[in-house]
Structure 1
Amino acid sequence: MGDRTNTHTGAAGRASVVDRPDSLRNVVLVGHSGAGKTTLVDALALASGAVNRTGRVEDGGSLSDYDEIEHRQQRSVQLSLVPLEWNGIRINLLDTPGHADFVGELRAGLRAADAALFVVSAADGVAGSTRLVWEECAAVGMPRALVVTHLEAARADFDEMTEVCRRVFGGDDPDAVLPLYLPLHGEERSDGHAPVAGLIGLLTQRIFDYSSGERVERAPDPEHLPLIADARARLIEGIIAESEDETLMDRYLGGEEVRTETLVEDLEKAVARGVFHPVLAAAPAAEGARQGLGTVELLELVTSGFPSPTEREIPPVTTPDGRPCPPLACDPDGPLVAEVVKTSSDPYAGRMSLVRVFSGTLRPDAAAHVSGHGPADRGPAPGREPHDVDERVGALTSPFGRRQRHLPKAVAGDLACVARLSRAETGDTLSDKDTPLLVEPWVLPDPLLPVAVEAHGRSDEDRLSQGLARLVAEDPTLRLERNPDTHQVVLWCMGEAHRDVALERLRTRYGVRVDAVPHRVALRETFAGPATGRGRHVKQSGGHGQYAVCEITVEPLPTGSGVEFVDAVVGGAVPRQFVPSVEKGVRAQAARGVAAGYPLVDVRVTLVDGKAHSVDSSDAAFQTAGALALREAAAGARILLLEPVAEVRVTVSDEYVGAVLSDLSGRRGRVVGTEQVPGGSTLVRAEVPEAEIGRYAVDLRSLSHGTGRFTRAHLRHEPVPRQVETRIRERAGAGVA
C-alpha cells in the first residue's frame, strides 16, 4: 500500500464509464478551514493525470474554477466532487468546507462517501470540530485515514503531529493510529528548518525521494535504519493486533518473520474494516513537478485500502408511507435507489442535483419517482412539505471544476449530476416509478441562528417568497419561518458565515435583495392581579345609533392558560345574542395587546353586567364595548410583560464547562442540572430567555473552541425583570419593536 510502483490509467479530460461498483472508491475529505483539503485534491488530480501542470483539464477549464462566493471569501463553502482514476479505479473525491457553519455540506459528503480522509495541518493542529466528526464516523464504522499537511511550515513537526493524532483520535487504542511512512528531510535551510524531501516506507524499508520533482525509489541510507526499525516494529504490532488471523501475533512474538505481503494484506483489510487508521504525509508538487510529496502513496492507500461501495451497507430504505423494505445490495441490476446529496442552481444550466446511486442503474431520460423529506412517522422537515412526484431524469454528467462531462449511465455506488429535476430537493430519493422507495434521511443539526429579512425594495417583494423557497430547497440546514406573532420572515442559519453566503446567493442567483433586520422574540402581556373594567359605546348619528355597555372582571391565570371568557350575567342585562359579541371584542383586543402592543395571555375575563338598547344595540357595538372594557381594566392594573424562555441543552468538553456556566448566568439563565456524557463531555441543562440566545450558536462555538453544541426548545413565557421591561417599553414607545 503506497510502497509499490504505481501507474495511473486515467485519461485527462475524459469521463470514463464505470460498469462495476467494485472499481469505485468514494472518499470524503474532512478537516478544518485552512488544513489544506482543496490543495490536496489539486495535488492528487495532478499526480493522477486528471489535470496537467497548469491545473487545466484536457477538454478545457480549471480544477480551481470554484463558486464565485468561494473566490470572494477565499474558502470553500460547498461540497465539490472531483473524479480521478488510478490503477483502473475511479476515485470520487468529495471536498467539504472546513468551516463549522457549513456542516450540512460536510454531512452530505459523509453520506455520499464510503471512507474518509481526515486532513490535519502540522502547523495548526487538530480542531475540536474535526474531533467531533471523527467520533461520528467511528459511531458508524466508516474507514478513516489521516493526512498531515503543511509540512513546509517552519514550526511543522510530523512526529509531534502524529502523536497528537494518536492521542486525539486513538481513544482507548492509540496503536490503531500509526504512520505508514516517516518524512525524509532534505538539507537544512538558513532559517534552521529542513524541508521534507521524501518518505521512508516502513513496511518495505524503502526511500521514496521527491526532491527531483518525480518520485524516485531507492534503498535507505545506513543512518535511517535505526529509525526505521523502531517505527516499523510499532507499526507491525499495530497491524497484527487488528489481523483476522488470530495466530499471527503469537507467531510474531515467537520470533517468526512476517512476510511484507502478509502485512500489507492485513493492513488493507484493517483499514477497510475501519479498525486501523494509517497516518500519511502530503505536500503539493513544487513548481514544474508532476507529483507532490505523498500523493502516490495516498492514491495507493485509497485504491487498495479503502472499501468499494459493495463493502458498505446501504442506508435503511422504506416505502414512502413508512413500511420497511428488505435490505438492498449495491447491485447495478437491482431496483433503483439514489439520493440527492446536493442541489445547486446555475443561471445557464438550471437546477443540478448531485446524486449517490445506492442500488440499480440511473440512466438519462428515464422516468423516476421522487420522494421527499423523511419517513411518514416523522413528518416533514421544518419549512418543507413532503412530496411524491414523478419526473424524467435529465442528462447525467460528471463534474470537474466548472466543467460537466456527459455520462451514459451511473451504476450503483457511483456519483453523478442530474439535470432538470425540478421538484427534487437535497435529501430526496430517486427510485423506480412503479416501485417508489425512500432512503432514511441523514441527521442534520438544527439551524439555531435566526436572521430576520425584509425585501430591500418593491421589486424584491414579488420574488422574495420564491427565492427563499428555492434557497431552502437547496440547503437543508436552512429553515424558513414566518412568525405569526412578530410577522417577521426569519431564516434560521448555522452561523454568521452561513448567513452571509445564503443572503449572497439570494442576491446573485435569484436576483432578490434583502435587508437583515433585528430579530424579535414573541413577547406577551398579562395582568399582575385582579382588575375591573367598564366598556361604554354609545353614539347617536341619526337613524339607528350604537348602544352597548358591558362590565367585566379580569383575573390572572397560571402560565399557559391562554384567555378564558366566562359569562356571569344574570337577569338578561346583556341579551344572549350579544354575549358572543362581547367575547369576540375582548379576544380581538387581547390579541392586539393592552399595554405595549403584545398579545394578552393567561387571564380569565368574566362578563358580569351590562346594558342594551332595544333598537340601537348591535353585534358591532358590543364588540367595541368588550374591547373598551378590557382596555379600561388594563389602565387601572399593573400589566406584566412576559418573555419566552427556552430549555437549552449544551454539550461541551469538560474543560469548557466553567466558561459555559458563567456565560449562561450572564444571559439570565438558570442551570437546572449537569451530567456526564461519554467522551469527556458534560451536558448542561438550563432555562434561558430566548432574547438572550439569539447569537448563542456563534458565541458557544467561540467559547468552546468549536467543541460545544446545543439544542433549544420553547418552554414557557415568564415575567420580564423590571429593568429589562423598562427598556422594552421605551423601545416600544419609540416605535422600535
Structure 2
Amino acid sequence: MLICGLALAVASSALCLSYHNKIGISGSELGKESAKTRNVSALVSSKAFVNPLIRQKESFTHLDDRFSHYSSTSKRHQQLGAYVEDLTALEAPLHRYRNIGIIAHIDAGKTTTTERVLYLTGVSFKIGEVHDGEAIMDYMPQERERGITITAAATTCFWKGGYRKVPQHRINIIDTPGHVDFTVEVERSLRVLDGAAAVFDGVAGVEPQSETVWRQANNYSIPRIAYVNKMDRPGASFEKCIEEMEQKLGTTPVPVFIPVGAASTFQGVIDVIQKKFYKFDKEKDSFDYTEAPVPENMQDELQHYRVHMLENAAQASEELLEQYLANGDLSDDQIRTGLRIMTLANRIAPVTAGSSLKNKNVQGFLDMVVDYLPSPCEANKMSVHTKEDESDDTSPSESKPSVRKFNETQLTFDTMNFDLPLAALVFKISHDTQIGTQAYIRVYRGKVSVGDVVYNPRTKKANKVQKLLFIHSNERKHLKTAHAGDIVSLVGVKDVITGDTLCNEKDQVLLESMEFPDPVISLKVEPVDGNELERMCDVFRKFMKEDPAFRMHMKPETQETIISGMGELHLDIIVDRMRREYNLPVNTGSPQVEFKETFVQPAHAEGRYVRQSGGRGQYGHVKIYIEPLEQGSGVQFQNSITCGAIPQEFIPAVEKGARQQLMEGLLAHYPVTDVRVTLLDGTFHIVDSSEFAFHTATTMAVRDAAREGGIKLLEPIMKVNVVCPLANFNTVRGDLLRRRGQVQTIRDGFGGVKEITATVPLQEMKGYITELRSMSQGRGFYTMEMSHYHSVPPVVQEKIVSSNLKPNK
C-alpha cells in the first residue's frame, strides 16, 4: 500500500526540509494509532511518530509523477466551465485534496464564508450575499427567500496559499444547513467528509446548534478547525468564544490567528506562528491587507497564545518535545507539523478569526484548511463489510443487505491506487426534471467511469452509469471518470437510497452506512384538486428518497395522508416545494406530535384464523411472545421454531403480519417500537394454510398480547436552549417548569443574558415562541432539538387517547 505522509502532506513547500525526514509520519500509521487510542500520551510514546518512514517520499513522488502526467495532457479549465475529461486532471494530486464541510449554528456565517472563498479562489466573479438572496450556494428559492441554507450544497475550488505560497490544493466544500430541522443534511455530509470547519458567531459564541454539529463530527472522529466570525460586530469577543469552546465542546482550541481589536476597532489578525500582523483597511470591505509590526499592546497576548501553541505542537512527537524542552521554541514548519498531527488525532482544534462579511482574513481561513485538515489518504478508518461465500438465503422481508454474509473489518482503503475495485457510498439523492435521479457519491476506492456497471448489494442489482457529473452548487459539469477521494453525482443507477454502497459485483463490500432520527412532527395533507391524490403521493415518495428524515403514510382508519418530519419548518419547505416544483398545491392540517407506543410488560399470546366450511379453507395458528426492549431498539422479529411446526414458507408472512400490526398501533394508532416479537409455536393445515391465514392469525395474536402486556405512549422530549435577559429569567424558567420541563443547566451568556438548557415534551412547546417574546419583551429566543422519547404521564396519556384518537377495538 502506498503510504501517505503527514509531514509531507502539510501545505507548505518548506516541509521537505531534512528535519521532517527525521520525524516522518505516515497517514495510515497515524490513523491506526489515533483510531485505537485517541490519546496524546500514547501517541507520543509510540515509535510510529519517531521512526523514519522513507517510503512516504516515494509514495508522494509517485503521486506527483502521475499528477504531472495529467497536467501535461490537460490545460486549466477556465472556471470549471469546460467538459472535464478526468477529475484528477483538475490541478491537484490526491494528497493535496481537502474534502471539508462548513458547519455551524444558523446565521453564524457559513454560507457567507463559502461565498467569499469562491470569490477569493476565482470560482465566482461576484460575491453572492445571503441577505440579498444572491448566494451561489443557496440556490433553492426557499433558501433565498428565507436567507437560510436548507440543503447541503457542494462545490470545488483551488488554493495556492494566502499569506504564504503553497502548492496548489483542491478543496471540495460542502456548505451545510444550520437550522435544527435540517440536521440530517449535516449528518450525511459529515459521513463522507474528511475534515470540517466550524464557524462561530463572535458575538453569540458557541450556540446550541454549534454544539449539536460538533457532536455529530465527534461521532465520525472528523478533524476540525474553528473560525470565529463576525469580529466586526458590536459585542464580539474572541476570548469568550475560546472559553466557550473549551467548556461547551470539550475541545482544546489553539489560536493560530488572533484578532487585533473587535467591533469598530477590528483591524486585522496576528499570525501567531510567524508573529506577523496582517492589517486590513477598516474603511473598505476589501480582501487586501498590508503587513505591519505587531502592536505593542498585543505583544503580551501574542506571547500567551504562542506558548499555548508551542506546548500543544510539542506533544505531537518525542523529537518535537525534546526540541521544545531544549530550546524553548520550534521553527515555523515544526509548529505546523506538530499542530497538524495533533489536529488529525482530534486532540486540538486550530482557531482563526475574522469577518467574512467584511472580507477580512478569509485567506487565513483557507490557509488553515490546507495546513491542518486531512487529505483522503489521511482520513480515519471506517467499518467495511467484505463479502463471504454465498450461503443461506436472506429472509425475503429484509430490506437491507444481509450483513450476516459480510465480514466486518476496520480498514483504510489504499486511495492512491486507482486500479483497485470500486467502493463508493451514496450520501444523497436528488431528482431533476431534465436528467432524472442523481445519486451523490463519495468514491472511497478505485474509480468509476461513464459506461461502467456498478452493483448495489442492498438491491442485488447492477446498473450502468449513464452520466458522471461534477457539482458546483446547482450547476453540473460532465465527467468521464472519478477516482478515490472524489465527490460527484452519477445518473443511471436505479433504486438507490441514501446509505447504499456501490461496488463491483465480483468484489462486493458494504461501507458503513448512516443512521437518521425518526420524525417528531406530522401534518395531514390533501391536494386542493382531489383528482391529484395519486400524483401528490408519487411526489412525496420522491421526497422520501431524497430526504431520509421525511416520511409519508396513509392512516388506515381514515385514509388520510400524513407527512412527518423534523419540525414545522422542515414540513413547510416540503409543502412549498410541492407547490413550486410540481405545480401541486395542497391543504394542510395543524401540526401534530409524533407519539409512539410500546409494551409495558412482556406478554404471551395466541392467534388462530380458521375458515373451514367445505372446499379450500383458511388455516393459520401462531403462538408468540412480545417483550419490551431498551429505547432505540426498534422492532425485532425472532423465529424460535425448530421442529417445523410452521413451514418455513409461511414465516415471512408471520413477520409481516406482526410488523404491520405494530406499525398501525395498538392503543391510539401510533407505531409501536422497542419490542421483540418471538414466534414460539403454531400449527398448520397441509391444504388450507396460506400466507394470508398466517398473516391474519399473527395480527390477532399481537392485539391479544397488547391486552395482556399493556401499552403506553411515548412522547418526543426536546432539548431546549433559551436565551433571555436576566430580568426575565425567573419568569422564563417558571414557564418551562409549567410545561413539564426539567432544567438541566443555567449559564451566564454574553451581554447580561441567561442561557437555560432544559428538556421539555414537544407537545408542550406549541406556541412557545409567542409566549417567550411576550415574557422577554421580544428579547428572548430559543432553539430546540430532538433528545429522546419518554413515557407519557398516565393523566396526559388518557387525555391524548380519549380526545384525539379512537382506541383500537
TM-score by length of 2: 0.62
Asked whether 1:491 is paired with 2:491, we answer: no
For the structure 1 residues 559 and 725, does the alpha-carbon distance in structure 2 shift closer, same or farther, using more than 3 Å as the test?
farther
Distance 1:262 1:560 in 2: 66
Contact 2:739 2:765 in 1 (8 A): no
Q: 2:108 aligns with which of 20, 23, 35?
A: 35
Contact 1:460 1:514 in 2 (8 A): no
Contact 1:10 1:85 in 2 (8 A): no
Distance 1:466 1:660 in 2: 45
Asked whether 1:22 is paired with 2:95, we answer: yes
Counterpart residue type for residue 271 of structure 2: G
Distance 1:104 1:160 in 2: 29
Asked whether 1:425 is paired with 2:497, we answer: yes
Deviation at 1:393, TM superposition (A): 1.2
For the structure 1 residues 122 and 62, does the alpha-carbon distance in structure 2 shift closer, same or farther, using more than 3 Å as the test?
closer
| Alignment map for 1:68-83 (pairs within 5 Å) | 68-83=141-156
| Alignment map for 1:183-332 (pairs within 5 Å) | 183-185=259-261, 193-211=263-281, 213=286, 214-240=288-314, 242-245=315-318, 248-249=320-321, 252-253=324-325, 255-284=327-356, 286=358, 292-318=359-385, 319=387, 320-322=401-403, 323-324=406-407, 327=411, 328-330=413-415, 331-332=417-418
Asked whether 1:403 is paired with 2:479, we answer: no
Moved over 6 A (4+): 1-5, 519-523, 558-567, 653-656, 658-665, 681-684, 695-700, 713-720, 723-726
For 1:646, the equivalent position in structure 2 comes to 713
Counterpart residue type for residue 203 of structure 1: I
Distance 1:484 1:249 in 2: 68
- What percentage of aligned pairs have identical amino acids? 20
Three-state SS of the structure 2 residue aligned to 1:426 is coil
Distance 2:802 2:523 in 1: 25
Contact 2:149 2:178 in 1 (8 A): yes
Three-state SS of the structure 2 residue aligned to 1:46 is helix
Q: 1:149 aligns with which of 217, 221, 229?
A: 229
Counterpart residue type for residue 198 of structure 2: F
For 2:657, the equivalent position in structure 1 comes to none
Distance 1:662 1:131 in 2: 24
- Listed one character per residue, the Cα deviations across residues 60-111 of structure 1 (whole Å, up to 9, x for unaligned) are x983561112122221100000111113221011100000000111111101
Distance 1:51 1:130 in 2: 28
Contact 1:29 1:116 in 2 (8 A): yes
Higher deviation after alignment, 90-99 or 479-488: 479-488
RMSD: 4.6
Contact 1:40 1:282 in 2 (8 A): no
For the structure 1 residues 62 and 248, does the alpha-carbon distance in structure 2 shift closer, same or farther, using more than 3 Å as the test?
closer
| Alignment map for 1:647-726 (pairs within 5 Å) | 647-648=714-715, 650=717, 652=719, 705-706=782-783, 709-712=786-789, 721=798
Contact 2:205 2:240 in 1 (8 A): no
Contact 1:346 1:509 in 2 (8 A): no
Asked whether 1:448 is paired with 2:448, we answer: no
Distance 2:527 2:485 in 1: 43
Contact 2:198 2:224 in 1 (8 A): yes
Distance 1:329 1:434 in 2: 18
- Listed one character per residue, the Cα deviations across residues 611-647 of structure 1 (whole Å, up to 9, x for unaligned) are xxxxxxxxxxxxxxxxxxxxxxxxxxxxx9xx97323
Higher deviation after alignment, 31-40 or 440-449: 440-449
Structure 1 residue runs without a partner (length 5+): 187-192, 287-291, 373-386, 524-557, 568-575, 581-590, 592-596, 600-639, 675-680, 687-691, 733-737
For 2:454, the equivalent position in structure 1 comes to 368
For the structure 1 residues 65 and 248, does the alpha-carbon distance in structure 2 shift closer, same or farther, using more than 3 Å as the test?
closer
Distance 2:549 2:797 in 1: 32
Contact 1:316 1:439 in 2 (8 A): yes
For 1:97, the equivalent position in structure 2 comes to 177
Three-state SS of the structure 1 residue aligned to 2:156 is strand
Distance 2:79 2:594 in 1: 58
Three-state SS of the structure 1 residue aligned to 2:419 is coil
Distance 2:558 2:602 in 1: 20
Q: 1:346 aligns with which of 427, 432, 435?
A: 432
Contact 2:221 2:380 in 1 (8 A): no
Counterpart residue type for residue 358 of structure 1: Y
Distance 2:490 2:275 in 1: 47
Task: Pick the structure with more helix per residue.
Answer: 2
For the structure 1 residues 491 and 650, does the alpha-carbon distance in structure 2 shift closer, same or farther, using more than 3 Å as the test?
same
For 1:181, the equivalent position in structure 2 comes to 257
For the structure 1 residues 479 and 295, does the alpha-carbon distance in structure 2 shift closer, same or farther, using more than 3 Å as the test?
same
Contact 2:190 2:220 in 1 (8 A): no
Three-state SS of the structure 2 residue aligned to 1:645 is strand
Distance 2:722 2:264 in 1: 36
Counterpart residue type for residue 116 of structure 1: A
Distance 2:559 2:733 in 1: 33
Contact 1:314 1:358 in 2 (8 A): no
Contact 1:396 1:419 in 2 (8 A): yes
Contact 2:498 2:548 in 1 (8 A): yes
Higher deviation after alignment, 76-85 or 410-419: 410-419
Asked whether 1:163 is paired with 2:243, we answer: yes
Distance 2:733 2:463 in 1: 49
Three-state SS of the structure 2 residue aligned to 1:271 is helix
Structure 2 residue runs without a partner (length 5+): 1-9, 15-75, 161-167, 388-400, 596-600, 618-660, 662-666, 670-706, 724-729, 745-755, 773-780
Deviation at 1:492, TM superposition (A): 1.7
Counterpart residue type for residue 711 of structure 1: H
- Listed one character per residue, the Cα deviations across residues 180-215 of structure 1 (whole Å, up to 9, x for unaligned) are 1121349xxxxxx53423211111111222327323
Contact 2:521 2:591 in 1 (8 A): no
Contact 2:106 2:179 in 1 (8 A): yes
Contact 2:188 2:428 in 1 (8 A): yes
Three-state SS of the structure 2 residue aligned to 1:102 is helix
